[in-house]
């Protein structure tokens, strides 16, 4: 990746000490390491740290990250993208990009297309977060009221939102899987400087796509876990739980209370407690998922705006002025 190309260290061996040196002199002699920076474009140097932090997060995140981990990923995405428009305005990045529009139009179009895909994906992600938060809140209300038809409707909507997130992850995966354009290689239609700038931008787009895929799938996992918990708490999932709830409704009748035996009533109350325990656990998971998704809204909004700014900057640089 880009981070591996920024700096190269070359170690020169120290001369061997002469045989007449004392042991103290030998122990005090140290080999010196001279680090020489490799020749690379300044654009890569500007983005090195932020890109490295994002790549390290993507490689170290678990398959099912929690809300705190996802929030950290969104923060690193925003940190990389927020400063990119200003860097692209610098002459050593701006001039090669403008020249590449005339020398390699396909290469410029590829950059514009990749960042447009990413901006669209994060725009949809922002909408999905809002929809999920609303569905989770509605599911909690339905579960408290024991309104099973309403709860089933909320859970279906929640599953659809989770499916949309999975489809978003597939969309950004296509950006990551697309091969590096041949125009990035030196010696083609673009000059070495133009190819280096385009390569850095391509690697940024791939890194953003990879991190975005992890974020989208992580939110989908949080939603799926809450949906499964709420589904387990419904009486339609457990026939005996439905019988308990029906018994509770009948138990309000005075005549039924008189006819019910103490043994049967004690058994029903015990089962009812189990149902209430599951319902309470489901409410806690739904509430935790709502809070988690709500905490990601600001980070998702910042990443989306940053991507829009990057795309607009690229469009201004790569679109010919008439």
Return averaged pLDDT per consecutive 10 residues of the chain, 322 residues in all. 42 42 38 38 79 92 87 95 89 81 77 91 94 92 87 90 90 75 48 77 91 94 88 57 50 49 51 72 89 93 96 86 52
Burial class of 311 by CB neighbour count within 10 A (0 to 12, 13 to 18, 19+): buried
Q: Rounded to two decimals, what is the model's pTM?
A: 0.73
Task: Output the pLDDT for position 91.
Answer: 84
Residue 35 has a pLDDT of 33
Residue count (the chain) = 322
Q: Which residue has the tokens 């809204």?
A: 297
Which residues 6+ apart lie within 8 Å of 105 measured at CB? Answer: none
Closest by CA to 166, choosing from 110, 221, 92, 113, is 221
pLDDT at 165: 92
Phi/psi of residue 128, nearest 5 degrees: -65, -35
Question: What residue spans define the domains of the chain?
Answer: 47-318
Alpha helices by DSSP H, listed for the chain, are 23-28, 42-60, 67-82, 84-88, 91-103, 105-144, 148-177, 192-232, 239-250, 254-259, 262-295, 297-318
CB atoms within 10 A of CB 290: 20
DSSP per-residue string spanning 181-201: PGGGSTTSSS-HHHHHHHHHH
Q: What secondary structure does DSSP assign to 234-263, as a single string?
A: STTT-HHHHHHHHHHHHTTSHHHHHHS-HH
Question: Which pLDDT belongs to residue 216?
Answer: 95
Report how far residue 298's alpha carbon sits from residue 306's, in angstroms, rounded to the nearest whole number: 12
Token pair belonging to 197: 């700038």
With H, G, I as helix, E, B as strand and everything else as coil, classify residue 12.
Answer: coil
Tell me which residue of 97, 115, 313, 291 sits closest to 202, measured CA to CA.
115
Cα of 314 vs its chain's centroid, Å = 23
At residue 38, the pLDDT reads: 40
């Amino acid at each position: 990746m880009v981070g591996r190309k920024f700096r190269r260290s070359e170690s020169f061996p120290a001369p061997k000490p002469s045989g007449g040196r004392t042991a103290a002199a030998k122990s005090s002699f140290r080999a010196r390491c001279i680090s020489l920076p490799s020749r690379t474009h300044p654009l890569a140097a500007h983005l090195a740290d932020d890109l490295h932090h994002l790549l390290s997060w993507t490689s170290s995140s678990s398959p099912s990250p929690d809300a705190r981990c996802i929030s950290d990923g969104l923060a690193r995405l925003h940190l990389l993208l927020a400063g990119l428009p200003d860097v692209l305005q610098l002459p050593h990045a701006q001039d090669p990009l403008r020249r590449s529009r005339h020398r390699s139009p396909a290469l410029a179009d590829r950059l514009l297309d990749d960042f447009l895909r990413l901006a669209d994906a994060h725009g949809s992600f922002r909408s999905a977060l809002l929809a999920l938060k609303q569905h989770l809140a509605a599911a909690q209300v339905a579960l408290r009221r024991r309104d099973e038809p309403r709860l089933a409707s909320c859970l279906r909507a929640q599953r659809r939102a989770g499916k949309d997130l999975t489809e978003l992850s597939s969309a950004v995966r296509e950006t990551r899987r697309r091969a590096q354009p041949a125009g990035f290689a030196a010696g083609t239609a673009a000059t070495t400087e133009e190819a280096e700038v385009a390569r850095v931008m391509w690697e940024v787009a791939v890194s953003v796509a990879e991190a975005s895929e992890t974020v989208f799938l992580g939110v989908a996992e949080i939603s799926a876990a809450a949906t499964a918990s709420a589904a387990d708490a419904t009486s339609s999932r457990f026939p005996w739980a439905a019988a308990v709830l029906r018994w509770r409704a009948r138990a309000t009748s005075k005549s039924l209370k008189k006819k019910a035996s103490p043994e049967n009533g004690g058994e029903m109350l015990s089962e009812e407690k189990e149902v209430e325990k599951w319902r309470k656990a489901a409410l806690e998971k739904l509430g935790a998922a709502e809070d988690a998704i709500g905490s990601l809204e600001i980070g998702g909004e910042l990443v989306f705006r940053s991507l829009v700014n990057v795309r607009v900057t690229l469009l201004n640089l790569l679109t010919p002025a008439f």
